[in-house]
Amino acid sequence: MVARTQNPREYPAQFSRTVDGDTYEVNIDLGFHDWLHDFSIRLRGYDTHEMHDKNEENRKKARMAKAIVEDFLINDAVIMLKVYKTRRNQYEKTLNRWVADIFVEGHWVEDKYVDGRHLGEVFKELGLLKDG
């Protein structure tokens, strides 16, 4: 099941904290001195395990994914978001959430390398994605 998305919008933002491997809180600069604080956003294209999962092994995987991402998403870092609103069609369970491509330190997060390997490859190799 693929979520449809609207046309993306880009916003400068400030990284606040990592919730888990694919979810973050950010402060978004809406322009004209107007900010949206502590807004929860998900990294587009990834679905890592949740920190509050009932299964201890899945919680361990969530902590590992969070630690990997925290190595390069530093609190208060200035970032750029390309934000998408996802939605499913009328026949599927309702899902409206904000997902984003995140640009930090000259790279899109999904293009970051961890020990010389692409972030997605590392997540998949370590079994940190829900579907992998």
Domain boundaries, the chain: 4-125
- Return per-residue pLDDT of the chain as tens, 132 residues: 344 456 788 999 999 999 999 999 999 999 999 999 999 999 888 899 999 999 999 999 999 999 988 877 776 678 899 998 876 544 444 456 788 888 887 778 777 766 777 788 888 999 999 975
- CA 31, CA 50: separation in Å to the nearest integer? 32
DSSP state of 66: H
pTM for this entry: 0.79
Q: Are 23 and 14 in contact (CB under 8 A)?
A: no
CATH architecture of 4-125: Beta Barrel (2.40)
Q: Which residues, including other chains, have CB under 8 Å from residue 8's CB and lie 6 or more apart? A: 82, 83, 84, 101
- Range 50-64 burial, b when 16+ CB lie within 10 A, else e: bbeeeeeebbebbeb
DSSP state of 100: E
